[in-house]
Structure 1
Amino acid sequence: MSLPGLLRVILSAAVLLGTSGAMIVMAADPAATISQKGRNFTPDDITVEKGDMVRFVNDDFYGHNVYSETEGADFDIGLQPPGEERDVVLEKLGIVDVRCRIHPRMRMKITVTE
C-alpha cells in the first residue's frame, strides 16, 4: 500500500467497518467524488486504486442509501439526506457494483486496481 493510502487508513481509525474490504470513513481527501442527482450516479463508472477513498455526495432533493453487496467490498452508508457527504475506502481489487436501496435503477461500477 502506498504511503498516502496507508495514511488514509490510519486517519480512518474511527471508522465503521463493512464485513470485509470496504470501510465507511469521515475524513481526508477523496480520490473520486460521485454525485447522486436525478436518481443517477455521476459519473457511473470510475477507476480508483486500492486504499483510495470514494466520496458519495447527495446532490438530490431526497435521500439515498448507497450500498454494495460485492463480495469482499460490501458496504452500506445508510440513509443519506440531501446535501450530505459519505466516504468509503475500497481495499479489494476488482469491480465493485454500487446501487441505491431506495432507487433500484441507480447503479454504478467502481474498478479497484493496484
Structure 2
Amino acid sequence: MRAAILLGMAGTVLASASHAGEHRIGMAGMAYAPAMIEAKVGDTLVFVNDDTEAHNVLTATVGFSTDLGKQDPGSETSLTLRKSGAFDLECVIHEEMHARVVVRP
C-alpha cells in the first residue's frame, strides 16, 4: 500500500514536470526576442546570446528580482519561473534592451 502511494506521488511529480515548457529568448541587436513572453509557473526561460556583444539579464521587479549576470556571446543562461505574476527584463549593459514576462498559474 505504501509503495502504491509513493508511486502515485511520483507519477504526479512527473506529470507536473512533463507539462513545464521552455521558452528560448534571443539577445541580439540590442533587443530581446521575443520582447513579450507568456509562460506558466514551472516553465523555464532560456536566454541565448546570439550577438557579438555581451548582455545581461536583470529584473528589478519586486518579488521577482534576479540578476543572471554578464552573458558572453554564444552563451546561455536559464531561469525557472516559480510563481505567477508579471515582471520586466532589462540588460544593464544596453539601457534600451527590455522585455516583459507574464507568468500564469
TM-score clears 0.5 = yes
Question: How many residues in Structure 1 have an aligned counterpart in Structure 2?
Answer: 92
**What letter corresponds to residue 57 of structure 2 in structure 1?**
V
Unpaired runs of 5+ residues, structure 2, are 1-12
Report % sequence identity: 34
TM superposition outliers: structure 1 runs of 4+ over 6 Å? none
Unpaired runs of 5+ residues, structure 1, are 9-29
**What letter corresponds to residue 70 of structure 1 in structure 2?**
T
Given the alignment of the two structures, is residue 3 of structure 1 paired with residue 24 of structure 2, yes or no?
no
Q: Which has the higher helix share?
A: 2
**What letter corresponds to residue 38 of structure 1 in structure 2?**
G
Matches within 5 A, 1:38-53: 38-53=29-44
Residues 56-103 of structure 1 show CA distances to partners (whole Å, capped at 9, x for unaligned) of 000000100111011111111111000000000121211110000000
Larger radius of gyration: 2
**Which TM-score applies when normalising by structure 1?**
0.74
Q: Which residue is equivalent to 2:89?
A: 98
Distance in 1 separating the partners of 2:42 and 2:65:
14
Structural RMSD (CA): 2.0
